[in-house]
């Protein structure tokens, strides 16, 4: 469920997933998200007031965005048409309380989603999907559909040359784009509104899995300058390949029905809408943009990095573009539980003659972190930092860097071991100021109690814990040894 923060029921909406309260006022099996206009963020920042409104008596607010929304909203305020007025920060802290307790609501920024959409000529986009990466227009006559595929980035690492094969990624991207167009043409549609939308606008959503795997294979720490550069270059390559393939198809089959009037029809691609320019110099964007204007595109949208919860497990990759959450954890699925170990770490330790029961038990004791396992060399401890040991600001910056090539959005989780209102506020505002469309999918937190420790020798655990108390090392911020089940809706 998506709701804009000006809605009169917003406070009740924020309580619906909470763990306590009247049962008849809770709906914990639903998923909640906010569709946030920039004006609300400005009011929170300035400690201003915020007016809650009834959409029946103040129509049109969900049908516009940007300056048009602000003019209409402030006009209703001036006329006294609101239901009640609160401090914007009162509502903000209610949002944060829900996120700390339940991990939701998801945060998406309405104005960024619309201003940077190639479907903006169709009308105002009013919501995303469950996994927060699909930004598509929908109406009473059309149900938005997206056709997804993910690319296993680990397969493009040339280990002999220790380099990433952008040419091969480009070729595979073009092939996938062609294949997804055949999916659109031959698919079975359960409802007519879905078929109408898919045939008219032909959106696809390319994503990735195994970015962390690729970094490990290339011996790059996740937040190193080289990894951050590669992160951006990978998505530039995918976007270029997808746009070129879509143009090639348009040359044969014609552009999608609603191409005229779109930003692309005017020579504006996603990075233009971000007011950015590609940096790698690898691809001839000027020539491609000329072809886009002359020939058109077969697809209105192309990239939508999804969670890849299921397929990444099948292919043995880490999920989507995230760092490893832990180097050893338990994965819970419908068929039961099983331990998962970071195979790259184990291979590195075996090659150096360091893998042993002692090392394994220490990693388990430190909840999947290697930062305090001093028998592991410093270069490996740096390489195998978990998401709990990485600055979230850096992850947000990496999301923004690839964001200028993502014409839909990306399922970006945020991770805080013990979140505070100040920390979450800082993260949300950094996401918003960075121009992200999805500011947060889930807020991931670590359980207060130690997670299950499996196959660990009790005596050895005591020895390690004793050493933790004696030594003045930095406390572990390792990932949990328990991995919750992900959403499978966008598991491509």
129 catalytically annotated? yes
Residue 253: active-site member:
no
The Cα 71–Cα 78 span in angstroms is 10
CA distance 96 to 254: 47
Integer Cα distance of 236 and 208 in angstroms: 13
Question: Residue written as tokens 């291979």?
Answer: 347
Say how far apart CA 194 and CA 355 lie, in whole Å.
53
- Cβ pair 479, 386 in contact under 8 A: yes
As a whole number of Å, the end-to-end CA separation of the chain is: 22
Q: CB neighbours of 355 closer than 8 A, spacing ≥ 6?
A: 346, 349
Which tokens go with 293? 């204007």
Catalytic residue (choose from 64, 113, 127, 129) = 129
CB 210, CB 344: distance < 8 Å: no
Choosing from 4, 133, 322, 486, the catalytic residue is 133
Phi and psi of 60, rounded to 5°?
95, -10
Q: Is 133 marked active-site?
A: yes
Coil, strand, or helix at residue 331?
Answer: strand
Backbone φ and ψ for 435, nearest 5 degrees, come out as 85, 15
Write the DSSP string, 184-238. Answer: HHH---SSHHHHHHHHHH--EEEEEE-HHHHHHHTT--TTSHHHHHHHHHHHHHH
Q: What's the angle, vertex CA 40, arms to CA 36 and CA 42, rounded to 5?
A: 125
Structure tokens at 24: 């008849």
How far, in Å, are 35, 41, 141, 435, 470 from residue 117 at the CA level? 15, 20, 20, 13, 56
**Catalytic option among 64, 131, 431, 490:** 131
Report d(CA 270, CA 482) in Å as an integer. 38
What string of H, E and C letters represents the secondary structure of 269-313? CHHHHCCCCCCCCCCCHHHHHHHHHHHCCCCCCCECCCCCCCHHH
β-partners of residue 150 are 207
Secondary structure letter of residue 159 according to DSSP:
T
- Within a 10 A sphere around the Cβ of 304, how many other Cβ atoms? 31
- 3-state SS class at 12: helix
Count of residues making up the chain: 492
Residue 160: enclosing H or E segment and its boundaries? Answer: none
Q: Which residues are catalytic?
A: 129, 131, 133
């Amino acid at each position: 469920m998506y709701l804009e923060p000006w809605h009169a029921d917003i406070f009740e909406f924020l309580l619906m997933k909470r763990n306590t309260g009247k049962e008849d006022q809770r709906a914990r099996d639903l998923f909640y998200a906010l569709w946030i206009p920039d004006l609300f963020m400005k009011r929170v920042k300035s400690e201003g007031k915020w007016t809650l409104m009834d959409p029946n008596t103040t129509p049109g607010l969900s049908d516009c965005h940007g300056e048009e929304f602000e003019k209409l909203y402030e006009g209703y305020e001036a006329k006294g048409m609101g239901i009640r007025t609160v401090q914007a920060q009162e509502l903000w802290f209610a949002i944060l309380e829900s996120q700390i307790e339940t991990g939701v609501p998801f945060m998406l920024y309405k104005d960024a989603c619309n201003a940077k959409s190639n479907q903006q000529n169709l009308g105002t986009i009013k919501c995303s999907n469950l996994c927060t990466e699909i930004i598509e227009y929908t109406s009473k006559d059309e149900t938005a559909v997206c056709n997804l595929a993910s690319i296993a980035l680990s397969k493009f690492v040339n280990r002999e040359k220790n380099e990433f094969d952008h040419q091969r990624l480009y070729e595979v991207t073009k092939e996938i784009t062609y294949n997804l167009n055949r999916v659109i043409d031959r698919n079975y549609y359960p409802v007519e509104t879905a078929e109408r939308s898919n045939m008219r606008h032909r959106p696809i959503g390319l994503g990735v899995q195994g970015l962390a795997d690729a970094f490990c294979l290339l011996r790059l720490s996740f937040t190193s300058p080289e990894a951050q550069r590669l992160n951006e270059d990978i998505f530039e390559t995918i976007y270029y390949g997808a746009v070129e393939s879509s143009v090639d198809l348009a040359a044969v089959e014609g552009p999608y029905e609603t191409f005229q009037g779109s930003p692309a029809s005017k020579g504006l691609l996603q990075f233009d809408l971000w007011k950015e320019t590609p940096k790698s110099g690898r691809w001839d964007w000027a020539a491609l943009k000329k072809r886009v204007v002359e020939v058109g595109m077969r697809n209105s949208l192309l990239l939508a990095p999804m969670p890849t919860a299921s397929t990444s497990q099948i292919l043995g990759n880490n999920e989507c573009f995230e760092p490893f959450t832990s180097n050893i954890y338990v994965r819970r699925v419908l068929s039961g539980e099983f331990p998962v170990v970071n195979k790259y770490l184990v291979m590195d330790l075996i090659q150096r003659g360091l893998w042993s029961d002692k090392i394994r038990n220490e990693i388990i004791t430190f909840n999947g972190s290697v930062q305090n396992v001093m028998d592991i060399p410093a270069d490996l401890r740096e390489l195998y930092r978990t998401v709990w040991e990485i600055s979230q600001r850096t992850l947000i910056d990496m999301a923004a860097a690839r964001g200028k090539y993502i014409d839909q959005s990306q399922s970006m989780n945020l991770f805080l071991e013990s979140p505070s209102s100040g920390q979450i506020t800082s993260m949300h505002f950094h996401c918003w100021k960075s121009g992200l469309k999805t500011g947060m999918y889930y807020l991931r937190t670590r359980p207060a109690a130690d997670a299950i420790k499996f196959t660990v020798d009790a005596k050895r655990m005591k020895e390690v814990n004793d050493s933790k108390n004696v030594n003045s090392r930095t406390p572990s911020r390792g990932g949990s040894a328990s991995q919750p089940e992900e959403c499978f809706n966008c598991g491509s």
